[in-house]
Structure 1
Amino acid sequence: MGKSKVLVVGGTGYMGRRMVRASLAEGHETYVLQRPEIGLDIDKVQMLLSFKKQGARLLQASFSDHRSLVDAVKKVDVVICTMSGVHFRSHNLLVQLKLVEAIKDAGNVKRFLPSEFGMDPARMGNALEPGRVTFDEKMEVRKAIQEANIPFTYVSANCFAGYFAGNLSQMGTLLPPRDKVTLYGDGNVKVVYVDEDDVATYTVKTIDDPRTLNKTVYLRPPDNILSQRELIEKWEKLSGRQLDKFSLSEHDLLSSMKDLDLAGQVGVGHFYHIFYEGCLTNFEIGEHEEEASRLYPEVNYTRMDEYLKIYL
């Protein structure tokens, strides 16, 4: 069976560029949506042109032009949406709902992967406000997908290493602390850290796999299921420097929310669910669910001790 033709929506974004590279590396005929709204953003224009040099094809379409979206979707078999979650509250939701409508009207797509790639929203029904809206909106997209009978795969990639590992899971920085580090509670709750390039590799492998059709795929590479303490120990061993550790109680973390803007409150809420509740690892993978590293043992995923070396 031949490989699917893949359209990446949001291809110039943080995860999108990785999906484009992974799709090309897997030998898929790869298309990237080029929107007129890109305007004078020279970095994005040059990135699109670099994709073209690598063998990708650019498809012009706009979310304000339904017919153009339908025409773009008709050229492919699989659509991967990687629109950024930074457009907090409704923008991302509206864009994805328009994409679902285009896929429904095109009628030819054999797999749609919506923009998720974090915590599984189906397990976050009791999430704190205001961050809960991010999960509710993803569930609204899922509802639209399933009502339209669009074949899907949902990917739950847990914690991106660039945002959670390199900084030893410290809020407000993307670099490892030099002297002291904050532990969330006792720092022993298990978390899943995944290199973003590995997220893309695993994601692209699912698209032609019948085992992942209409299922949620969790990325839980076993060597990367670590507590925050274990992550810090890896850094201390690599750097040869011991960090002073300070424990932040659940109460103090949640109390800090009142002094933050909306985005900060969302971030604190997500940290609470990950590092205190253990929402990434406190459940067993069950029916209609798969785990990526079991499905694709050939992927030599990046271990966090190796990943952290780039910060030395």
Structure 2
Amino acid sequence: MEKSRVLVVGGTGYIGRRIVRASLAQGHPTLVLMRPEIGLDIDKLQMLLSFKAQGARLVEASLEDHAALVAAVAQADVVISAMSGVHFRSHNLSLQHKLVEAIKEAGNIKRFVPSEFGMDPSKMGHALEPGRVTFDEKMDLRWAIEDANIPHTYVSANCFAGYFCPNLCQMRTLLPPKEKVHVYGDGNVKVNKTIYLRPHENILSQNDVIAKWEKLSGNVLEKIHIPADEFLASMKDTDFANQVGVGHYYHIFYEGCLTNFEIGEDGAEATLLYPEVQYTRVDEYMKRYL
């Protein structure tokens, strides 16, 4: 079976680098967009060169250069965007909108995967300000994709293990707490049930994650439960990024926005689609932090 040519945009990011490696491992002819704006970022350059050494082809094009971007897109069958969320915030067309315009003009793309990978924005019309902007702008991008009749797949992966498991869902840290842990409400809202990526054994509440860490580490933590009103009050007089983070955490851990709906006919669960893929269980993932 002929493999699809895959173009990855944002290939040096947290998600992007993993997508590049997975595409190469699956034997797809893999192209990685190399933006001139990389400047003097030596770490990103070395990563791109390592991809090249593994068989990827680097395609130089700026997202600000429409003609060059169209030419890059024309070389692929599938485009996967893994750009950082910061690229959603712009008074003008966002960089992803420019990518959509290039895909529309090229007219050859069989599948476009935009950079979402978080909560499903179509379910977040009630989201709190200022964090609501994240979901509103993602929906604007979805409408642009659909208006352009571009074949697409939206991926919602919700809580990534690296950001939510080892820190036991604490904000502003990536490491496990050693003595005390803040528990949002009663801690029983499920947080890892996802729309497209829903590995059954990783559907866990915050209390589940804490219990697994206590069992692995042999250390029992003091639980400090934070009521919803107190948690929301913590965003007052803080910077914009913190306010957005608090709002998103509220929807996840107090409202259960990741699990309070069923997958509809327009959705699919990844582990059922690809049962041969073995995913890492939370217990195994957390052992590296011991």
TM-score range, shorter chain: over 0.9
Shift of 1:220: 0.9
Work out the CA distance in 2 between the residues paired with 1:60 and 1:146.
Answer: 27
C-alpha contact (below 8 Å) 1:85/1:92 kept by paired residues: no
Tell me which residue corresponds to 1:81: 81
Question: In 2 relative to 1, CA 27–93 (structure 1 residues): closer, same or farther, beyond 3 Å?
Answer: farther
C-alpha contact (below 8 Å) 2:183/2:223 kept by paired residues: yes
Is 2:241 the partner of 1:263?
A: yes
Stretches of 4+ aligned residues off by more than 4 angstroms: none
Work out the CA distance in 2 between the residues paired with 1:26 and 1:92.
Answer: 37
Higher-RCO chain (CA-CA 8 Å, sequence separation at least 6): 1
Shift of 1:88: 6.1
C-alpha contact (below 8 Å) 1:32/1:57 kept by paired residues: yes
Question: In 2 relative to 1, CA 269–238 (structure 1 residues): closer, same or farther, beyond 3 Å?
Answer: same
Is 2:62 the partner of 1:62?
A: yes
Q: What TM-score, normalized to structure 2?
A: 0.97
Shift of 1:93: 6.1
Give identity over the alignment, percent: 72
Tell me which residue corresponds to 2:99: 99
Q: Secondary structure at the match of 2:117?
A: coil
Shift of 1:193: 7.4
Work out the CA distance in 2 between the residues paired with 1:75 and 1:86.
Answer: 27
Question: In 2 relative to 1, CA 294–145 (structure 1 residues): closer, same or farther, beyond 3 Å?
Answer: same
Shift of 1:297: 1.2
Tell me which residue corresponds to 1:16: 16
C-alpha contact (below 8 Å) 2:33/2:61 kept by paired residues: yes
Kindly provide the CA deviation profile for residues 88-112 of structure 1, in whole angstroms up to 9, marking residues without a partner as x.
6228961000000000000000000
Work out the CA distance in 1 between the residues paired with 2:92 and 2:204.
Answer: 31
C-alpha contact (below 8 Å) 1:164/1:193 kept by paired residues: no
Which runs of no fewer than 5 residues in structure 2 stay unpaired? none
Work out the CA distance in 2 between the residues paired with 1:137 and 1:93.
Answer: 11
Is 2:258 the partner of 1:280?
A: yes
Shift of 1:182: 0.6
Alignment of 1:98-177 (within 5 A): 98-177=98-177
Shift of 1:2: 1.1
C-alpha contact (below 8 Å) 1:34/1:61 kept by paired residues: yes
Tell me which residue corresponds to 1:210: none
> Amino acid of the residue matched to residue 73 of structure 2?
V
Tell me which residue corresponds to 2:287: 309
Shift of 1:175: 0.2
Question: In 2 relative to 1, CA 178–116 (structure 1 residues): closer, same or farther, beyond 3 Å?
Answer: same
RMSD: 1.4
Question: In 2 relative to 1, CA 34–92 (structure 1 residues): closer, same or farther, beyond 3 Å?
Answer: farther
More strand by share: 1
